[in-house]
Chains A and B, each alone.
Chain A
Amino acid sequence: MAEPAAQAVDEMVDGRGQLRPHWRDLMGAFSMLGEGALAERGRRLDRGFADDGVTSVMPGEAPLRWRCDPVPLLIQAAEFATVEAGLVQRATLLSRVLDDIYGAQDLLASGALPPAMVFANPQYLRLGAAGLQGPKLHLYAADLIRGADGQWRVKADRTGRAGGIAYAQENRRQLARVLPEALRSTGVRPLEPFFDQWQDALRPLAPTGVGNPTVALLTRGTQHRHWFEHMHLARLLSCALVEGGDLTVRNGALFLKTLRGLQRIDLLLRQIDGRLIDPLELDGNSVIGVPGLLDAARAGNVRIVNHPGSAVLEAKELAALLPALCQRLLGRALLLGNAAPADVPSLAPCLTDGRLDARPVVWRVFLMFDGTAWRVLPGGLARIRDDDAEDAPLPGLAKDVWVMHDEQSDIIGPLAVPAPRLALRRTSGALPSRVADNLFWLGRYVERLDSGARLGRAALTRLGRASRPREFEELQTLARILADARLIDAEAVASASLTIGLHATMHAGGAVGGLFANIAGLTEKVRDRLTGDMYASFTQTLRAAQEAAKSPTADGLGNGLLAISRFCTAVAGLASENMVRGGGFMFLDLGRRIERARAVVREVGFVLDLPARRIDSGLMLALELCDSAITYRNRYLNVLQPAPVLDLVLADQGNPRGLAFQLVAMRDLLEDLGSEAGVRELLAGSAAGLLAEVDLVVNQVLNAPDQAQEAALLPSRLRAMGSELDGLSNRITRRYFAVLPATQTVGLGLSQVQGAA
């Protein structure tokens, strides 16, 4: 990297090589940590981001690393006040320009704006003469650099989606965890009040007359690089996180498709390219927008912020015009100047290989319009390596920005203004159908993984000592179960290759490997429904299990299977301890119950599929697979008989590993889901019917003259129950997770024009 030009200001050290006074407390705190401690904190910071999934777009895919330097950028109170005043003015000015561009166009008519800046700008959207109501600019960010004269100047205006604010908050959260002493000793303004105010500011943005608006943040989903930011922002603002497919426009209003039907959305936080939000009027190829959204917005039934065309102000030519526009529109001089292309950023200390290097720094400051005034986040996102990239997340290293408290509290400023009283808020309880679908399958896959691990471990213990014919037979049964559950290749049924089969299934291309990938993907998709700790635990234990499972040795395989079981137990425990008993948890649980019921039915069906004289071996295997051997021994000591065993694994509603327990839970969940009466009876009734069938089956065995012979008749009935469970799962899918046909655009393509002359 080339040496920065000599005249660049150093943030920490003055011209005589002395530490600037406002850095003393921080540097003091760092030196108190001791030799090498800062580097260690830096590593902990990296780990913190990795553990919380801030580094990666998708777990398991090439990670886009998010890294934050442990040394923050320090901004003095007076300096911040100057920047604040300058940016509030700039935001006000930009809002006025935006209003004019999408309104009267006086600035164009008078020649104050060159036509090319607007009309040749792909971000200028031709939305219709009526325009959209409400403030057009709500979130705005400016990239600042400090020039050689020590003044902060604006290098770029971000009016499109002003990305990066969630990262700023996340940097602070992680830094506070890793460097609490430094944060305490420096006296830093907290970020939380800004987010609280922001959340309250959303209410008056909604269409007039909507008292308690439903707010949604429109995202492109887990596969997109802004996913973390959108997910985190939705959580910070307690709003719904939605994809285009979750939304529909009916009768000129915007709705979220939830399990309880359509739920009105009043305010849409636009975080995707404005050109993609409505394929009916704008980019017809967009599959992430909502047809008719602009019609609903024009009708005043939904507000969109920022305005879909707000990025027009990111035109490079605009900055040079701002001084004149400021005089014209606000009647005063522009407070905060523009950086010249030749200006070099100031240098900030940055931890590199254990020592502090001075590197060029750019500071992104975020502003939010609360309906009356612009508010500035006292902090921001600083970046080392100025590559002028358009959007966050950016490559390279980030820095937290610490705005210091004013020591002289005699200054009358924003600090003296009492904080507005916070309004009570409740998050929206309605669950989007897509999220319910994902949770349901997450539950199913986790449980499937668990049952696979259980079977694998049962097989491994036998493989170690498979000399006796009984164990050989049990191994064959286990192989058949694994094959039927599609957890190993059918060819691996021969016990000689069962080890190979187990190793193979663990790998990326194998069935268990596939489950790992599915679970990772679904975890990411439901991430906004999990607490940060839950998400971290999910992904960490999953990664640990995935790693352990890759071991090529038999011991390693055993450890891998154990790690999988631990992961599944952790998911179950975390979910039941941390998730509110609403729709989300219910679908996760429903998925688990169906999958476990399916596994029990399959396993018992296969273990009973033995010659009657060998039924004891099958019964014992059934108890082992259902984790019920100890309970059985407590109840019946060492006497093994078919009816008591089958009662315990199939009909006993108190055995959490048994079939009846799952069916009761499914029946109750389906009744609680509160769908329309007919459907509820159909679905819950199906579970109840299975429960009755189980009772009947066990009673028949109990009352049969020869229990073993009667039990040998069960496999086909259990297979039928398995089919019934599959059918129930399909019916749940159809009822709750509407499978929609594809959308297409007509009238712009071939067909429309064929006849035209």
Chain B
Amino acid sequence: MTMRYRIRHETLYAYADRVDLAAHMLHLSPRMLPGQQVFDASITAEPRPSRMSWGLDHFGNQVCWLFLDHPHERFSVTVQAEVAVGFAPPPVAELTLPWEQVVAIAAAGGAAFQASEFSYASPMAPADAGAGAYAAASLPAGRPILQAVLDLCGRINREFAFRPGVTTVNTSVADVLAGRAGVCQDFTHLMIAGLRAHGLPARYVSGYLRTKPPPGQAPRRGADQSHAWVGCWLGPEHGWVDLDPTNNLVVGDEHVVLAWGRDYGDISPVRGVILGGGAHTVTVGVDLAPT
């Protein structure tokens, strides 16, 4: 099934002191994908940047760089886009490769080298022994990979409380594991770290979740915000399938993909370096409505 959404994502920085010079790197443009078509994507910034440049990052995500040369006290950037999504359903879980075989293929590199990249530790999803031990319960010998990752996704969803405010971006995977609570980023980093601890490729996917659930269903957790979930690699035949541990969902037609990377640090939506500014506040507003 394909759904069509209108996205509006606004980020507003308000600075205590004047900012003399600013450079920002945006990962805010939805990615073009086999299951995702993007129409009319636009980025507007206020004040007007003195330079904007576009390109693809290492992972093939759309990046926009903004440079502001004039003093300013506020900076806002708004993305508007229309997107049609309908990702192919996942393969039959029982028929996917035993997870150990996926590990071996990834480690060997060669044709699968692009997936291999996601099997190594990264700064925010480090090789954490605790996460590895937690994930091990979902990885008995010979288990088909998709069964394993679905099981892990479900366990995180059941065993961790969704509680905004108890964690920050600096909270480590180990702390999330100990506290058994967090938000989508924490669950995503935890699941990625757990899979990578066993040599399985897993990637961090950022994007949005539709604001209103389909009729008759419970409200989704993490709507109206930037959302994040896990891309799991099932081997060369089936490639990547996205799982949302926050809502225990297989990504189908309720999610819009912005970008992916090894962890949040690779694809932070609005990253910048400013000269001056002092303390600042950020307000983020996301709206994802079916059209």
Q: Which A residues contact B (CB, under 8 angstroms)?
A: 105, 108-111, 113-116, 119-120, 126-130, 248-252, 279-281, 284, 291-292, 295, 298-299, 740-757
- The answer for the CA separation of A128 and B226 in the assembled complex, in Å, is 23
Question: How far apart sit A88 and B152, CA to CA, in the bound complex (Å)?
Answer: 52
A-B contact pairs, 5 of them (CB 8 A): A292-B23, A295-B23, A299-B53, A746-B13, A755-B225
Say whether A111 contacts B273, CB under 8 Å: no
Cβ-closest chain A residue relative to B111: A109
Q: Nearest Cβ in chain A — how far from B218, in angstroms?
A: 15
Q: What is the CA–CA distance of A408 and B168 in the complex, to the nearest angstrom?
A: 72
Interface string of B159-180 (1 = CB under 8 A from A): 0000011001110000000000
Check B23–A284 contact: CB distance below 8 A: no
User: Looking at the complex, which of B60-68, B96-104, B136-144, B249-257 is the stretch in contact with chain A?
Assistant: B60-68
The answer to whether B213 has its CB under 8 Å from any CB of chain A is no
For chain B, the count of residues having a C-beta within 8 Å of the partner chain is 67
Closest 3 CB pairs of A and B: A757-B222, A126-B58, A111-B110
A249 to B60, CA, bound (A): 25
- Asked whether A120 and B280 contact (CB < 8 A) given A126-B57, A251-B50, the answer is no
Contact in complex: A292, B113 (CB < 8 Å): no
Which residues from B are CB-within-8-Å of A284?
271, 273
B residues in contact with A105, CB < 8 Å = 113
Q: Tell which of B108, B165, B168, B226 touches A111, judged by Cβ atoms closer than 8 Å.
A: B108
Report whether A743 and B109 are in contact in the complex, using a CB–CB cutoff of 8 Å.
Answer: no
The answer to whether B271 and A756 have CB atoms under 8 Å apart is: no
CB pair A248–B228 under 8 Å, yes or no, is no
Is B223 interfacial (CB-CB < 8 Å)?
yes
B117 contacts A130, C-beta separation under 8 Å: no
Q: Are B65's CB and A295's CB within 8 A?
A: yes
**B58 and A750 contacting across the interface, CB-CB below 8 Å:** no
A750 to B168, Cβ gap below 8 A? yes
With known contacts A750-B170, A753-B169, A757-B226, A115–B50 Cβ distance under 8 A: no
Q: How far does the alpha carbon of A288 sit from the alpha carbon of B119 in the complex, in Å? A: 31
**Do the beta carbons of B273 and A291 come within 8 Å of each other?**
yes
In the complex, how many angstroms separate the beta carbon of A163 from the nearest chain B beta carbon? 26
Q: Report the minimum CB–CB distance from A734 to chain B (whole Å).
A: 15
User: Is B73 interfacial (CB 8 A cutoff)?
Assistant: no
**Cβ-based interface call for B88 (8 A):** no
Interface of A is mostly: loop
Q: Known contacts A115-B117, A116-B120, A292-B65: does B276 contact A742 (CB below 8 Å)?
A: yes
Given the interface contacts A280-B23, A748-B265, A752-B169, does A115 sit within 8 Å of B246 by beta carbon?
no
CB distance from A617 to the nearest CB of B (A): 55
Query: Does B21 belong to the interface (CB within 8 Å)?
Result: yes
Chain A residues with CB under 8 A of B185? 753, 756
* Besides the known contacts A114-B109, A295-B23, A752-B282, 13 further A-B residue pairs in the complex with CB atoms under 8 A apart: A108-B109, A109-B113, A111-B110, A116-B109, A129-B60, A280-B25, A280-B272, A746-B272, A747-B24, A748-B169, A751-B281, A752-B270, A753-B169
- Contact residue among B57, B276, B281 (Cβ-Cβ distance under 8 Å from A128): B57
The distance from the CB of B142 to the nearest CB of chain A, in whole angstroms, is 24
Q: Are B110 and A757 in contact (CB under 8 A)?
A: no
Assess whether A756 is in contact with B275, with CB atoms less than 8 Å apart. Answer: no
Known contacts A113-B109, A284-B271, A743-B273, A298 near B55 by CB under 8 Å = yes
Are B170 and A251 within 8 A (Cβ)?
A: no
B132 at interface, CB cutoff 8 A: no
Inside 8 A of B281's CB, which chain A residues have their CB? 751
Q: Is the CB of B63 within 8 A of A128?
A: yes
Q: How far is the CA of A100 from the CA of B283 in the complex (A)?
A: 42
A252 in contact with B183 (CB, 8 Å): no
Asked if A280 meets B225 with Cβ closer than 8 Å, knowing A127-B58, A741-B20, A750-B169, the reply is: no
* B59 interfacial contact with A, CB 8 Å: yes
Given contacts A105-B113, A115-B117, A130 and B55 within 8 Å (CB-CB): yes
B273 contacts A280, C-beta separation under 8 Å: yes
A672 to B283, CA, bound (A): 50
